[in-house]
Amino acid sequence: MSGSSADSIMPAADGPAIISASNIAKHFGGVFAVDDVSLSVSPGEVHGIVGENGAGKSTLMRVLCGILTPDRGSVVVDGQELEAGDPGAALDAGVALVHQELSLIPEMTVAENILLGSTPTKAGFINNGELKEIAAEALKEINVSVDLDEPVARLSVALRQFVEIARAVARKPRVLILDEPTATLTPAETDYLLDMLERLAQRGLAILYISHRIPEIFRICHRVTVLRDGKHVDTVDISETRPDELVAKMVGRELEREYRDEDRRHAGGDVVLRATGIRAPAVNGVDLEVRAGQIVGLGGLVGAGRTELVRAIIGADLRTAGDVTITTGGRTNRITSYRSAVASGLAFVPEERRVDGLALTMTVSDNVALPNRNSVSQASVLSVRRITELARRLADDVGLRPPEIHREAGDFSGGNQQKVVIAKWLGREPDVIVLDEPTRGVDVGAKAEIHRLVRELADGGTAVLVISSDLPELLDLADVIHVMRDGRIVGTLPGELADETSVMSLASGQTGDLIAV
């Protein structure tokens, strides 16, 4: 399904606001996450909410739907003030939230998840007929076809996202709030989702849309509110602003240029990471090497085998054939497991930071201590002083905001969580760092800062391997790009010669295999 242009956006419905928030403030531990923010949304309007990670977007949305109790301020839906901190009252008033982190239960069926929390019963038993009828109606409303009896665990990430939206739609909301709904979707899936939201808005639904992806904001939103450091910066009609103006308001500072000077690209020094003949599920005989001071990119479409290749190389997953070595300081170590990879000087920033990268209920300092136990111990006993000193230094190095090292990692925004994952590995001064989707789900400011960190690592002699589905990111960072398809590297392009057309042609099979180094 093709996406519509910004010019085709339907005008928002006229009339009074269906939901309005007045002077909302919410603080955590002495820091205001939201500070005196007001906004309103009319029926049929798609209202964008933008800002850097940590700007207060998600906190504000949780206040609107009653999950959080504000320190001050009020929320009014259709003329009636909502009881603060009462999610049931917000649902009854017609306010539904689709969280950034999906809340489905994998073992339950699609139908059961859609009606989770409002399962129809008859004589004390679940009414399966009504359950499926309501679930089917919700899926029809968003024009998605999926087996109602299929366990959610068997669905793709995209279908899980659509089931989450169907769950919200099943409650017949008047206001739908979506927090970064396209963070894990492909471009085609994103187009489908945006088309769906446009149709829902045209039927009179008020939509609050949080996204760090500026093109999406300009495609479907009528108005956009900018938050920065918890404060309201501006609310403007989308037709009266430009992407660069919006970004400037979001970050409040000039970002680094989104490309590297050509003289910065280089071939690197000696080979540090060498992988030969790698075979694993979804990987079909791959040779790969990364040199000191070099940034090597892995591109390709979803399902090409990029993550599977990397996890096989570093020993995180089983490889059925092949050999991997790390050479530093004149010594070569053979990598047979993830433990041996880390011991040999490798660091890994995984795709799923909340699952594989962080202990969310532990503090930033405790997360930093995990891979750095030797350096923060004294006489084999962990030193609180050393942990604190290391965590503070690394928090400053990565630009953690706010720099609260004794705060739980799960309380930070997505971009800041990613900085914590990177920070804990920087403490080991790795010889090789592997980053899988390093800026997925982060805003433009955090993305620029992560790119800076990656470049500084390479400039310092670290061998860097980056997987990214964000093609401009790959083109911006990489000295050389390997393109994968069907578990193989089908093309290798020098960074200065690569462009979107050449990478996508290789990834999609529109051109023959190419090795151009």
What is the amino acid identity at position 201? A
CB 47 within 8 A of CB 223: yes
Residue 317 has pLDDT above 90, yes or no: yes
Task: pLDDT band for 257, please (50, 70, 90 cuts).
Answer: very low
CATH topology of domain 18-94+173-254: Rossmann fold (3.40.50)
C-beta separation of 194 from 5 below 8 A: no
- Which pLDDT value is given to residue 510? 61
Percent of the chain's residues with pLDDT above 90: 60
Q: Considering the chain, tell me which residue range(s) the CATH 3.40.50.300 domain(s) occupy.
A: 18-94+173-254, 255-345+430-439+472-517
pLDDT tens digits, 384-422: 999 999 999 999 999 888 889 999 998 888 888 999 999
Q: What is the pLDDT of residue 14?
A: 55
- Taking the whole predicted model, whether its pTM rises above 0.75 is answered as no
Strands of the sheet containing 283-291, edge to edge, are: 283-291, 271-280, 321-328, 331-334
Residue in the block written with tokens 């003949």: 277
Residues 445, 246: Cα–Cα separation, whole Å: 12
Query: Which sign does the torsion angle of CA 452, 457, 459, 460 carry?
Result: positive
Q: To which H or E segment does residue 292 belong?
A: none
**219-248: per-residue pLDDT in tens?**
999 999 999 889 999 999 999 999 888 888
Distance CA(61)–CA(49), nearest Å, equals 10
264 pLDDT more than 80: no
Strands 432-436 and 346-349: parallel
Q: Give the pLDDT score at 412.
A: 86
Cβ-count burial of 512 within 10 angstroms (0-12 exposed, 13-18 middle, 19+ buried)? exposed
Q: Letter for the amino acid at 372?
A: N
Alpha-carbon span 485 to 512, nearest angstrom: 11
Q: Does domain 255-345+430-439+472-517 have CATH number 2.130.10.10?
A: no
